[in-house]
Structure 1
């Protein structure tokens, strides 16, 4: 995720970052400009066409298309924001769990270090699970919980959470943690799986295919029929007009596509790497 100052207007206006849709859409903008120029030459210089009210239809359709794009953007942003809330919950609940364990466990109990590493590994595994998958060798090894322990596992976060439950149950069996305290720990432990399940729901449930397909077709038809009418009224000035309209409409769709799956490594995705580092530092300080 990119950090920036939203009040720095001039820097943002003239900035060109790899996440800027202008870079991604530049070939399309050039193609639309050339296409509009060809249509303008054919209609004005060869056929000398003289249609009337050529922009009325596109004005009406443009309003409807704008409403569709607003809905598309809001839906994508809702998914992005829900993902951010879930990862904020990871931060809060990991702190709460660590604070409770710090209070419940003696300072010299080795389970403190074991649980700290397991919780850290769980957050890291959750982050990678939502991307391209977890590589066991990147997890922090600890006794029996080494790379071999996680090998051939389809859902590594589940296995780590199972190990956390087992370690805490052992503490309860050894009467280091009482039953009442075990109940107090249960909420944070359960919230980890709930949060990850919410993230998986966002990632594995994209915008319905029919809706996405329809919207792209409408944008394509709208932009590529626009020069036919606009060049009669605006002549060759239709070239920048159509190019700008294409950039605006297509950019909204491209941005929505990027943020609707917010757990990757794109520039506008959630900063899960920095969130993981924050949680790791908190656990090291508390436990």
Structure 2
């Protein structure tokens, strides 16, 4: 995710990190070359392309803008919902850790080990959710926080974060049977586990349910057709300004279209997608610090304005 301050007005025109231009420059180049060729033909052979009037393309542009605006809003809602869910995960992880450390006595080795196990599994869950959403192997990040006896079952699980959540539920049941905390506290802890499970399920819903393909295809086709038809209708009235005008319009429409695609899947590693690595690292640092550990990993800092 891009986490820079608003650049200087002059630098806005040259900022590429986080910009959509690197992804749409082939389309921009195509429209610019086509517009230039049509302008040259019109210059050397006048009246090659009749004057169609601006009204037709204005109406088409308004209709296309509505389609792109609707899709962009739908994609942004998915992105924002995903960010709210990860904010909820941070809240649940900190709350569960506070409850574990506050209500389980640490005056003996068994109590301290129980606290550590629950907190470490919470950290492992956060890392596992990130890797599941990004389709990357989670073992390097979660093995240090899961006891060796559970490694085989974790490797065999098809849904690793769900498997870790079941381990946390099992340990919570052991805490109840051993009478380490009251029934009310157990219920509160279980509510935190349920909330974390809801976060996982909601993130999987967003990840596995894209916007309808037919709608995306309609917007793609309409955008290409409009930008390719545009220079034929403008060249008679704009002359040599046609390539510039068409390039700016193509940048707007193709940019909105591509940005919507990027925001539609908020869990990836693209510049405008969510910084899940930084969020899961924050959870790890906060929870290990709550345990009193001092050998903590460093915060993930932005590199050239990009936070992974």
Q: Which residue pairs with 1:130 in the alignment?
A: 133
**1:3-42 equivalence runs, <5 A:** 3-6=3-6, 8-17=8-17, 19-42=18-41
Q: Could you give the per-residue CA deviations for residues 31-68 of structure 1, whole angstroms, max 9, x where no partner exists?
A: 21111122223344236336334322111111111111
- Counterpart of 2:104 in structure 1 is 105
Q: Aligned to 1:242, which of 243, 246, 257?
A: 246
1:273 maps onto 2:271 in alignment: no
Counterpart for residue 85 of structure 1: 84
Rate the CA distance shift 1:50–1:269 in 2: closer, same or farther, 3 A.
closer
**Equivalents in 2 of 1:32, 1:250: separation in Å?**
11
Q: Which moved more, 1:59-68 or 1:1-10?
A: 1-10
In the alignment, the residues of structure 2 paired with residue 7 and residue 248 of structure 1 have an alpha-carbon distance, to the nearest angstrom, of: 20
Task: Give the match for residue 2 of structure 1.
Answer: 2
Report how far residue 82 of structure 1 moved.
0.4
Tell me the secondary structure at the aligned position of residue 140 of structure 1: helix
| Matching residue of 1:72 | 71
Secondary structure in 2 matching 1:139: helix
The answer to whether the 8 A contact 2:27-2:254 is kept is: no
Taking the aligned partners of 1:58 and 1:209, their CA distance within structure 2 comes to 26
- How far apart in 1 are the matches of 2:114 and 2:10? 54
Q: Cα–Cα, structure 1 residues 172 and 242, in superposed 2: closer, same or farther, change >3 Å? A: same
TM-superposed deviation, 1:8: 4.2
Instruction: Identify the residue that residue 171 of structure 2 maps to in structure 1.
Output: 167
Task: State the 1:148 CA deviation.
Answer: 2.2
- CA contact 2:127–2:138 (8 Å) conserved in 1: no
Q: Partner of 2:302 in structure 1? A: none
- Identify the residue that residue 229 of structure 2 maps to in structure 1: 225
Superposed CA RMSD in Å reads 1.7
Aligned to 2:210: 206
3-state SS of paired residue (1:2): coil
- Equivalent pair of 1:77/1:256 in contact (CA under 8 Å): yes
1:139·1:147 contact (CA, 8 Å) conserved in 2? no
Q: Structure 1: state its 5+ residue gaps.
A: none
Corresponding residue for 1:151?
155
Check whether the contact 1:43–1:49 (CA below 8 A) recurs between aligned residues.
Answer: yes
For normalisation by structure 1, the TM-score amounts to 0.94
Q: Match of 2:124?
A: 121
CA distance in 2, matches of 1:20, 1:50: 35
Structure 1 residues 275 and 137: CA distance shift in structure 2, 3 A: closer
Which runs of 5 or more residues in structure 2 are unaligned?
292-308
- Contact 2:90 2:283 (8 Å CA) reproduced: yes
Q: Give 1:261 shift.
A: 0.8
Number of aligned pairs?
286
Structure 1 pair 268–73 and aligned structure 2 pair: CA distance change class (3 A): same
